[in-house]
Amino acid sequence: MLKISEISSENERDYWLRLAGVDPPALEQSLKGYKQTSSYVEGDMLIVPIRSGAIAAGQPLSMDIEEYEGRIGIPLAEAAETGCFIAARVKGNSMAPRIMEGYLVVIDSRRRPPKDNVGQIVAAADEQGDMTIKILGQNRGGFFLVAGNPDFEPHIQNIDVSNKWAIFGRVVKWIGQLDRKRK
């Protein structure tokens, strides 16, 4: 019915929606809420909500999953896969020099087996739901998180059922600009 309503004039649209038992103003309100909190395609762009707060590139931080500071558009050609995307600002430099503090990271939160993310930058959540971005590694059947910054002392965080770490999603894009004063 939504497809029919999309190609109809406004009066016809309301007719078809009401025929389907849908209240047009209620639908508009629902769509507005959806567009504020979910990724969606508009034309040739993927529109991704930016969560308030920050995702850590260091010690995990709490991200406010209910608050959003805006949206960012990404060309569909740069979104290699479909999925459910969110964006968040980075706080910390454990992933420098690739991902610096202040960058936006776009995360595909579609669930995948951890083995499909080995070698990728992932967003991971600890037992409290605090999030960080790190590289996912694997050894002897286990998975671990490690910083990408060569200046950081190696610290490996194992991910297993006992410590309740979980992969939230894969970082598929980062957007930022290095501070011109930095070399």
Q: Beta-carbon neighbour count of residue 55 at 10 Å?
A: 28
Interhelix angle 24-37/10-19, rounded to 10 degrees, is 100
The C-alpha atoms of residue 133 and residue 144 are separated, in whole angstroms, by 12
**Which residue stretches of the chain have pLDDT < 70?**
1-6, 63-66, 80-82, 154, 161, 177-183
The pLDDT value given to residue 4 = 62
**pLDDT computed for residue 7 by the predictor:** 73
Q: What is the pLDDT of residue 64?
A: 58
What residue has token string 């959540």? 125
Domain segments of the chain as ranges: 1-36, 38-175
Please tell me the class of the 38-175 domain: mainly beta
pLDDT of residue 183: 39
Per-residue DSSP letter, 25: H
Q: Which residues contact 134 (CB under 8 A, 6 or more apart)?
A: 94, 95, 121, 122, 124, 145, 146, 147, 148, 157
| Residues 159, 160, 166, 172, CA torsion sign | positive
User: pTM of this prediction?
Assistant: 0.77
Contacts of 47 (CB under 8 A, 6+ apart): 35, 39, 40, 41, 71, 72, 73
Chain-centroid distance of CA 143 in Å reads 21
**pLDDT score at 106:** 94
pLDDT, position 15 = 82
The count of residues in the chain is 183
